[in-house]
């Protein structure tokens, strides 16, 4: 599966990007574990905390095209350093906050912006510009798997830290873990790591590339499907611990479920990366989204035991963020990689608009109805819609994309 990364430079570049994403995504995807202790400590209420995390979902997406554009123009190194420092600062500052505004500032703006600046758009864009075309699909799968591995590691570790040190000590510990990733940036952007430049499609600049993309029907359909992915993931990351509690199960079931999602997505991400070389990415995405609707339906009919949550997590985890490699591949096929950080960043913004709604509406649902039933129904409907809107996307086959111009 890693045969296309057949040079030491390509492999090191890919693993460095994967390591950075492991930390930023591990911290971000485990934040739902703090909702209950935060509520107990501050008394702010689930809806207020959910709103702060929903703002964070949106901010994580909003910063992606900005960070991608800066990285495309000036290089990814400074963007990644700033992202990790802001993420660590936001995490370290959170325990001092005892108001809704304070949580919006730290978790909703600072931590989310820092995590977003050190995430997919910058990392996949940086790797793509340093790798040959044949290696990009596999590399994006490996990088994405790094983010999933971070969730697998961070969720149980943070749960143990919350139990041992309290949520404040766990949050400060997370800030230290983030800072430990800084040396990987030097490995990713070291002199000589960049492959021969891939020419821009038309050489007309970033503004022209953005206008062209926003006028492309396939690009907009890709956004619509990715919106659903964001809704689904943010709802589960934020409220799966609450769903577990409603079923009368201990908090450890939630942390291990999140960890299993991350572990399963390592396999899913690597498999998705390999599929890009064999199948059109739009069909890979359609199958992933349709499978989510089926899995949610099965979950709703199953008895709510710990094993049900673990099996559900494994099934969902296989496609969790495995949608990222085929989505980035389609953007690259449509518009090239010169401005991939920016254009894929805009796609991630659509993802996080869905994420805002998934996190916030989940909080409103539990306050209004006492459970998440309507959120599950909405999730299934959106997953079916996402599967369908990917089918008309204009996309060259993998063999055509690799053919010389």
Q: DSSP readout, 45-114?
A: -HHHHHHHHHHHHHHHHHHHHHHHHHHHHH-HHHHHHHHHHHHHHHHHHGGG--SHHHHIIIIIIIIHHH
Maximum alpha-carbon separation in the chain: 62
Q: Tell me the CB-side half-sphere exposure of residue 25, using CA atoms within 13 A.
A: 31
Residue 278: DSSP 8-state: T
Report the range out of 80-84, 256-260, 278-282, 398-402 with the highest average pLDDT: 80-84
**Sequence-ordered list of residues with C-beta below 8 angstroms from that of 227, at least 6 positions apart, any chain:** 350, 351, 353, 354, 382, 386
Min mean pLDDT across 197-201, 248-252, 317-321, 344-348 is at: 197-201
- Asked if residue 405 belongs to a domain, the reply is no
Q: Give the tens place of pLDDT for each residue, 141-167.
A: 788 788 878 878 888 899 899 999 999
| Residue-level pLDDT at 8 | 64
Nearest to 221 by CA among 396, 398, 385: 385
- Asked if residue 223 belongs to a domain, the reply is yes
Percent of the chain topping pLDDT 70 = 90
Name the residue range of residue 388's domain.
8-396
- Asked if residue 343 belongs to a domain, the reply is yes
Nearest to 107 by CA among 94, 96, 95, 124: 94
| Residue-level pLDDT at 192 | 47
| Residue-level pLDDT at 14 | 85
Angle at 62 between CA 364 and CA 52, to 5 degrees: 30
**For the chain, how many structural domains are there in total?**
1
| Residue-level pLDDT at 106 | 93
Identify the helix (H) or strand (E) that includes residue 302.
Answer: none
Percent of the chain topping pLDDT 90 = 35
- Asked if residue 1 belongs to a domain, the reply is no
Report the range out of 73-82, 135-144, 337-346 with the highest average pLDDT: 73-82
What count of other Cβ atoms lies within 10 Å of the Cβ of residue 136? Answer: 28
| Residue-level pLDDT at 6 | 60
- Asked if residue 401 belongs to a domain, the reply is no
**Rounded CA gap, 245 and 257, in Å?**
13
| Residue-level pLDDT at 200 | 44
Q: Give the tens place of pLDDT for each residue, 272-298.
A: 877 887 888 999 999 999 999 999 999
- Asked if residue 120 belongs to a domain, the reply is yes
Can you give the CATH number for the domain in which 34 is found?
A: 1.20.1250.20
Q: What is the mean pLDDT of the chain?
A: 85
**Rounded CA gap, 370 and 387, in Å?**
30
- Asked if residue 164 belongs to a domain, the reply is yes
Mean pLDDT (whole number) for 359-367: 88
| Residue-level pLDDT at 399 | 53
pLDDT at 195 over 60: no
């Amino acid at each position: 599966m890693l045969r296309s990364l057949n040079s030491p430079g390509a492999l090191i570049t890919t693993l460095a990007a994967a390591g950075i994403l492991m930390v930023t995504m591990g911290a971000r995807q485990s934040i739902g574990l703090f909702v209950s202790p935060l509520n107990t400590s501050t008394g702010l209420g689930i809806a207020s905390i959910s709103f702060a995390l929903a703002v964070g979902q949106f901010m994580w997406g909003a910063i992606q095209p900005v960070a991608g554009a800066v990285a495309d123009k000036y290089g990814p190194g400074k963007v990644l350093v700033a992202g990790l420092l802001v993420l660590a600062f936001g995490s370290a500052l959170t325990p001092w906050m005892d108001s809704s505004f304070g949580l919006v500032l730290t978790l909703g703006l600072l931590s989310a912006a820092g995590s977003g600046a050190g995430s997919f758009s910058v990392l996949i864009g940086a790797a793509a510009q340093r790798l040959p075309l044949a290696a990009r699909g596999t590399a994006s799968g490996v990088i994405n798997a790094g983010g999933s591995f971070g969730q697998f590691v961070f969720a149980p570790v943070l749960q143990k830290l919350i139990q041992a040190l309290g949520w404040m000590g766990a949050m400060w510990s997370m800030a230290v873990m983030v800072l430990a990733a800084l040396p990987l940036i030097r490995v990713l952007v070291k002199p000589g790591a960049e492959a021969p430049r891939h020419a821009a499609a038309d050489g007309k600049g970033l503004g022209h590339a953005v206008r062209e993309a926003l006028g492309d029907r396939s690009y907009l359909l890709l956004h619509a499907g990715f919106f659903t992915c964001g809704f689904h993931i943010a709802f589960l990351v934020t409220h799966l611990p609450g769903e577990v509690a409603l079923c009368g199960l201990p908090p450890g079931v939630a942390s291990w479920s999140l960890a299993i999602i991350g572990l399963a997505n390592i396999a899913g991400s690597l498999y998705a990366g390999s599929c890009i070389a064999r199948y059109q990415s739009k069909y890979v995405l359609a199958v992933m989204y349709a499978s989510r609707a089926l899995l949610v339906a099965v979950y709703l009919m199953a008895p709510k035991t710990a094993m049900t949550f673990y099996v559900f997590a494994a099934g969902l985890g296989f496609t969790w963020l495995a949608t990222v490699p085929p989505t980035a591949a389609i953007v690259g096929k449509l518009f090239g990689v010169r401005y991939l950080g920016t254009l894929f960043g805009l796609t991630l913004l659509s993802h996080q608009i869905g994420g805002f709604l998934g996190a916030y509406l989940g909080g409103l649902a539990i306050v209004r109805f006492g459970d998440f039933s309507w959120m599950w129904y909405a999730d299934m409907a959106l997953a079916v819609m996402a599967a369908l809107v990917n089918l008309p996307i204009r996309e060259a086959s993998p063999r055509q994309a690799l053919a010389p111009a």
